Homo-oligomer: A and B are copies of this chain.
Amino acid sequence: MAERRLGEFEIIDMFRGRGGHRHDWVQHGIGDDCAVLDLGGERSLLVTTDLMVERVHYLRDAITPWQLGWKAMAVNISDIAAMGGTPRAAFAAAALQPGVDAAFLEGLRDGMLACADRYGVDLLGGDTSRAPQDGVLCLTLLGTAPRDRVLLRSGARPGDVAFLGGPVGLSAAGLWLLTQGAEQAGRLDPAHRDRLVKAHLEPQPQVELGLWLAERGLVTSMMDVSDGVLQDLGHICRASGVGALVAGEALPVDRALVQAGAIGCCEQPWRFALSGGEDYVLLFTAPADHQDALVAGARHELGIELIPFAWIEPEPGLRLFGADGIHSARPRGWDHFG
């Protein structure tokens, strides 16, 4: 057969194509934030694995070893949070350059452990190897959730509202400040700059929110925002066989992001926020009837300000509600709008 290059989604599909699993203790295989296994007992096992590759996911000059360790742990913990689960144990495999020094390694370890400790996770083992060129970190996280309370992407229904667990776009703005916008960064209020950069380098997975939502029993679908709100809402809609109307300009935008927009990060912060990525806030749907109770409950019990931002509709696809009417939001083109 002729050689041809493959994109990431084609590669994923190729593995998914043979995803048919043979054992009935597999509750859910490929296609959600975690695989879900029923090994007996009251709790399901949640499993997720993620790679971080140097020069692809991080640049060694733009992140401290501590932050790299924190972030690698945090993004995996976020996948457990996205199912309404409790993270339990982490396994780390690292390929490191032969010249890596002790300070780098200690920083990496301490960052992983700080994040693990914050979320009650045990770092239990792993594998280390030499890397000829680029460093690689592969973390696998195990978590648990009550068997009948695992929150999947596939349950969104017309009449639901889609919520965000917090402001979005901050991480993408932080990345901009660390790269293209490095020269303009000095013009930003230091508190805002720190907030944006920290959102990118030290994400805080919303485990407590995920558990709280799972306990309420009102959520119909959930995931975490890693690829960007619109793309991830698209995943939920496709998995659920529905579509959504997304509040465009009406989306509340964090003040730090507004300020970043003013120094050149983006023209329309609300558009930027919807396509940013790496936010690691929860994105979930629940029947509109419960919107007020959920917002008030999260505010009073967790101190979290939920952001209702879209309405689930029967027609597939995403539509964007703006000052000039409703537009179809094409996932491909969308990234180039901001």
Contacts and interface: CB of A to CB of B under 8 A. Distances in A.
Interface of A: 1, 3-6, 8, 11-12, 14-15, 18-19, 21-23, 25-26, 29-31, 35, 37, 39-43, 45, 47-51, 53-57, 88-89, 91-96, 98-103, 105-106, 109, 113, 120, 122-134, 136, 138, 140, 142, 144
Given A35-B125, A40-B43, A51-B93, A101 B138 contact: no
Nearest to A11: B128
Given A5-B98, A89-B47, A92-B15, A30 B125 contact: yes
Contacts of A100: 5-6
Nearest to A95: B53
B109 A14 contact: yes
A303 to B, nearest CB: 26
B102 A8 contact: no
Contacts of A91: 35, 47-49, 140
A56 B127 contact: no
Contacts of A144: 39
A35 B134 CA distance: 28
B35 A124 contact: yes
Given A29-B125, A42-B40, A138-B51, A56 B93 contact: no
For the complex of A and B, the 9 pairs showing the least CB-CB separation, nearest first, are: A138-B138, A3-B101, A133-B133, A40-B41, A41-B41, A21-B122, A35-B124, A140-B140, A30-B125
A5 B105 CA distance: 10
B122 A56 contact: no
Contact of A26 (B89, B92, B105, B127): B89
Most buried by B among A128, A142, A144: A128
A18 B116 CA distance: 12
A15 B73 CA distance: 14
Given A47-B125, A53-B95, 5 more contacts: A39-B144, A49-B92, A49-B138, A50-B127, A136-B138
Contacts of A138: 49, 51, 93, 136, 138
Nearest to A17: B109
Given A21-B124, A124-B30, A102 B4 contact: yes
A6 B105 contact: yes
Contacts of A50: 93, 127
A54 B132 contact: yes
A123 B91 CA distance: 18
A25 B143 CA distance: 12
24 contacts: A1-B102, A1-B103, A5-B100, A6-B105, A8-B128, A8-B130, A18-B109, A19-B124, A23-B88, A29-B122, A30-B124, A35-B125, A37-B89, A39-B144, A47-B91, A47-B124, A49-B125, A49-B140, A50-B93, A51-B127, A53-B132, A133-B134, A134-B134, A140-B140
Nearest to A138: B138
Nearest to A113: B18
Contacts of A125: 15, 19, 29-31, 35, 47-49
Contact of A55 (B56, B128, B132): B132
